[in-house]
Amino acid sequence: MTFVAAPMLRIGQAPTRYQVLLRGITVAGRALSVPAAAFVAGSVMDSRTAITRLPPPPYQALRAEFRPGGSEREPDTFYDFTGVLVVTVPRVALVFVRNAVAKLDPSGILLDDCLARLRAQQRLPP
């Protein structure tokens, strides 16, 4: 297991909520083409859940790496692997300030047949 360190910033008045400054995302070693301004608001990483919410520009760029055919199916993070014997998941890494790079374990990127991420404006089920 590898650990990385990035500054944590308190969110408002909540004593137990923090955000980290995400600067980029790489897929298969290549940086996604996302403007730096897309990450300015900071990112909340919740290690207790399987869902990470991203602002629209990084979400769309990451989704495009998983959907090169451009399927417009909703919800757009679900995939049908019926009949597929081997699913190859590319390496994904989150890049934080100070060049702290967190390499995500491939087993946590796809859960069952659902990509574990949603657009920030989508509501999660209760």
Retrieve residue 79's tokens.
């995939």
* Residue pointed to by tokens 């995302």: 25
Q: What is the CATH number of the domain that holds 88?
A: 2.40.70.10
Residue 82 in this model has a pLDDT that exceeds 70: yes
Domain assignment of residue 114, yes or no: yes
Structural domain total, the chain: 1
Domain assignment of residue 2, yes or no: no
Domain assignment of residue 75, yes or no: yes
pLDDT category at 40 given cuts 50, 70, 90 is: confident
Domain assignment of residue 101, yes or no: yes
Residue among 112, 126, 110 nearest 63 (CA): 110
- Amino acid at site 72: E
Domain assignment of residue 12, yes or no: yes
Domain assignment of residue 99, yes or no: yes
Average pLDDT value for residue range 51-59? 80
d(CA 79, CA 113): 6
Percent of the chain with pLDDT strictly greater than 70: 67
Domain assignment of residue 126, yes or no: no
Burial class of residue 22 (count of CB atoms within 10 Å of its CB; 0-12, 13-18, 19+): buried
Average pLDDT value for residue range 66-90? 71
Average pLDDT value for residue range 78-92? 81
Domain that holds residue 44: 8-119
Average pLDDT value for residue range 92-103? 90
- Mean of the per-residue pLDDT values of the chain: 75
